[in-house]
């Protein structure tokens, strides 16, 4: 029996009443009610304890979620400010203070900006498609023009050869004129070939092979047939890189050829070397030639711009070099002292 009920029975009921059958039945019913109440009270306490913990956890989660939502809204506000700043540059006026927007207004504004971005992306996709088509047409046009221009040059060269063969006697002046004509034909032929090569550098298929630069440089020097008074030196073991062998060969060939043409010393030296950096390979080609004045350091990388007045110079070689290096996400620059020599530096991304 419940201890509290027992104590009350002892204090309030006589022994006769305690033993009375009906009283005992009544007390048993009360005792049952006590037990039921205690069980329910215990269950309620447990339920309240569990609910309190759940509420506590939920409150923490809601607090964290509120922080995240505030952060999202702040970032959305920043994004809207950026988008609005772009619009303001066009419209030259500010119509809305972002901080004053309600959630619905902010969502509406985001929807409007998203629609604008979608339209812009569609326009950009169309422009890219049109540009790609134009590039393909220009490439085809360059190839056709190259072929069509070289054909009459070959005919003129052949006519000169026939005139020389058929004529019994030609004066020295006439022969000299023929020589100049042939030199200009060769220069024109080189220019046409250079223009075609320049137009195709970033449009050719992207070929990736292992290129051993030690072998490539040796083969390039051999093919250029440099004068005997020029000595070549490889300052260190050059790396093997994964690039297009044709583009890389053309890059080094043009720079080395440029150094050979600029040599004005009785004893010429051309040094080639490299240095590994974190994201790039850095190369240099150094010569002790006539040098390049500072005012030409930028000009020489533009197509048809040349400081060499010789008939062989086309003004395309270094512009091709620059375009190849741009293709490989690198940079090119030079240091030069007139009368002492020039060093070309360039980087190629790994």
**94 pLDDT tier (thresholds 50, 70, 90):** very low
Per-residue pLDDT reduced to its tens digit, 237-258: 999 999 988 889 989 999 999 9
Find the mean pLDDT for residues 164-170: 68
Which residue, among 311, 40, 342, 348, has the nearest Cα to 179 in the 3D structure?
A: 311
Place of tokens 């979620």: 65
Inter-residue long-range contacts of 66-73, CB under 8 Å, 24+ positions, other chains counted: 73/103, 73/106
* 250 vs 57, residue with greater confidence: 250
The mean pLDDT value of the chain amounts to: 76
Phi, psi dihedral angles at 268 (to 5 degrees): -100, 145
Q: Which of 108-117, 136-145, 164-173 has the lowest mean pLDDT?
A: 136-145
Q: Which two tokens stand for residue 196?
A: 């075609």
What is the tens place of the pLDDT at every residue in 37-56? Answer: 666 666 666 666 655 566 66
How many whole angstroms separate alpha carbon 330 and alpha carbon 284? 13
Residue 12 in this model has a pLDDT that exceeds 90: no
| pLDDT score at 34 | 62
* pLDDT confidence tier of residue 120, bands split at 50, 70 and 90: confident
Q: How far apart are CA 297 and CA 228, in angstroms?
A: 29
For residues 3-27, average pLDDT = 65
CA 135/CA 92 separation, integer angstroms: 36
pLDDT at 339 over 50: yes
CA–CA distances in Å: residue 342 to residues 226, 231, 269? 18, 15, 11
Q: Is the pLDDT of residue 4 over 90?
A: no
Helix (H, G, I), strand (E, B) or coil at 268: strand
Report helix, strand or coil for 314.
Answer: coil
Instruction: Provide the Cα torsion 171, 177, 179, 181; round to 10°.
Output: -150
Cβ–Cβ under 8 Å, residues 217 and 272? yes
pLDDT in tens, 291-338: 999 988 888 888 666 666 555 555 677 888 998 999 899 999 999 999
Q: How confident is the model at residue 218 (pLDDT cuts 50, 70, 90)?
A: very high
Q: Which helix (H) or strand (E) holds 137?
A: helix 103-166
For range 157-175, the mean pLDDT: 72
pLDDT band at 341 (very low <50, low <70, confident <90, very high): very high
CA 212 – CA 302 distance, rounded (Å): 29
Higher pLDDT, 258 or 86: 258
Under a CB-based contact definition with an 8 Å cutoff, are residues 146 and 188 in contact? no
Q: What pLDDT was estimated at residue 93? A: 46
Report the C-alpha gap between 35 and 65 in whole angstroms.
44
């Amino acid at each position: 029996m419940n201890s509290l009920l027992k104590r009350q029975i002892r204090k309030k009921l006589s022994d006769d009443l305690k033993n009375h059958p009906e009283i005992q039945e009544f007390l048993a019913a009360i005792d049952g009610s006590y037990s039921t109440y205690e069980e329910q009270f215990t269950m309620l306490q447990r339920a309240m304890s569990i609910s309190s913990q759940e509420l506590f956890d939920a409150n923490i989660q809601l607090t964290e979620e509120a922080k995240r939502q505030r952060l999202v809204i702040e970032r959305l506000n920043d994004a809207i400010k950026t988008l609005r700043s772009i619009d303001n540059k066009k419209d030259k006026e500010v119509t809305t203070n972002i901080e004053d927007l309600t959630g619905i207004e902010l969502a509406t504004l985001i929807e409007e900006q998203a629609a604008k971005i979608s339209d812009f992306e569609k326009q950009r996709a169309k422009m890219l498609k049109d540009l790609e088509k134009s590039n393909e047409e220009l490439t085809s046009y360059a190839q056709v023009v190259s072929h069509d221009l070289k054909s009459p040059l070959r005919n003129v060269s052949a006519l000169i050869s026939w005139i020389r063969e058929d004529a019994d006697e030609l004066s020295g002046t006439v022969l000299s004129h023929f020589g100049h004509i042939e030199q200009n034909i060769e220069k024109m032929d080189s220019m046409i070939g250079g223009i075609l090569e320049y137009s195709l550098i970033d449009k050719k298929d992207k070929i990736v092979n292992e290129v051993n630069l030690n072998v490539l440089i040796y083969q390039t020097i051999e093919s250029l047939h440099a004068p005997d008074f020029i000595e070549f030196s490889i300052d260190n073991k050059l790396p093997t890189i994964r690039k297009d062998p044709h583009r890389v060969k053309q890059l080094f060939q043009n720079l080395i050829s440029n150094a050979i043409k600029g040599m004005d010393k009785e004893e010429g030296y051309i040094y080639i070397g490299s240095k590994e950096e974190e994201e790039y390979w850095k190369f240099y080609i150094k010569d002790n030639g006539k040098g390049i004045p500072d005012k030409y350091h930028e000009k020489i990388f533009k197509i048809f711009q040349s400081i060499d007045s010789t008939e062989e110079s086309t003004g395309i070689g270094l512009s091709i070099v620059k375009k190849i290096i741009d293709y490989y996400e690198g940079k090119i620059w030079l240091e030069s002292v007139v009368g002492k020599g020039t060093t070309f530096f360039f980087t190629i991304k790994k």
